[in-house]
Each structure stands twice: as C-alpha cells, then as structure tokens.
Amino acid sequence: MSFQQLAMPQHIKITVSRKTLFEDSFQQIMSFSPQDLRRRLWVIFPGEEGLDYGGVAREWFFLLSHEVLNPMYCLFEYAGKDNYCLQINPASYINPDHLKYFRFIGRFIAMALFHGKFIDTGFSLPFYKRILNKPVGLKDLESVDPEFYNSLIWVK
C-alpha cells in the first residue's frame, strides 16, 4: 500500500507568514492530529493567494526545512567541522520549549516523507539509526568525526 493510498480525501489548510514561518507553522502543525496531517495540504502565504497545485506546499517544505534545522536555533548542530550532517545539539535544553519543537520537527519530517516533499538537509548516520531503532556502534562514529573515531580505535 502506498502513502498516497493512505492519504485522507479532504485537505487541511495551513496559512503562514513568511516573516513568522517557524512560529506559524509550529502553531498550525501542532494543532492538527497526526491523522489530519495525512490529508492533502493547502498552503497559503497571505497576500500571495492563488491556486496551489503543489508548488506552494513544495516551497513551504523547503523554506521551513531551512528554518527548523538551522543550527542557529540551537536545536541541531553540525556533526563536525568538516561534516555538514546534523545531529541534536546537546545544549538544546537552553530553550525551555525544545522538546515541543523537537516533536514539531518530527511531525514536519514525517509530513515531508508522507507527502513526498524535499527537505534541504541531512542527518548523521547515528541519528538515522536511532530514529530507526537500530544499534549504533563504534564504526558509526567514523562518519561523524573520523579523528575521534581513529583515536578511540588507537586507545582500544
């Protein structure tokens, strides 16, 4: 059974301002049930009304992925100085709402996967393995920080 066959027939409307994209999207996505998020999306940027045949939704996914996964929000950080894959920032707790935001980001990524939309970033291999409930081993650290991995192998 494909994702499209699981989709609900009605659509949900998401109205977001470009200036407050993160907060507007957070409020609206978290107000819907997970079941509702499987419905067809109708994304509206106020002042830019028009027919959405998927292009506006595609742009929303792309823009929001840049916002929510931006390391400047302290929720994620780059895996290494030469590695631009993302991982959870250990200091994310400085934001009192960080757990709510992680839940929102999880829903957003699930929506992107379900609706077949592109998000412009990637996570580290250990992060994907944790999401999939696969065991993370020492070898997985090599993709994140080769120097640290080699040091651990040398110590071992």
For 90-139, the pLDDT digits (tens) are 999 998 999 999 999 999 988 988 888 887 778 888 888 888 889 998 88
Q: Are 78 and 70 in contact (CB under 8 A)?
A: no
pLDDT of residue 16: 92
Q: Annotate 2-13 with three-state secondary structure.
A: CHHHHCEEEEEE
Q: What is the C-alpha separation between 96 and 22, in angstroms, rounded?
A: 16
Q: Average of pLDDT values for 25-34?
A: 94
Comma-separated ranges of CATH 3.90.1750.10 domains in the chain: 11-123
Can you give the pTM of this predicted structure? 0.79
Neighbours of 26 (CB within 10 A): 23
Q: What is the DSSP string of 85-118?
A: EEEE-TTGGGSTTHHHHHHHHHHHHHHHHHHT--
Q: Which CATH number fits domain 11-123: 3.90.1750.10, 3.40.50.150, 3.20.20.140, 3.40.50.1820?
A: 3.90.1750.10
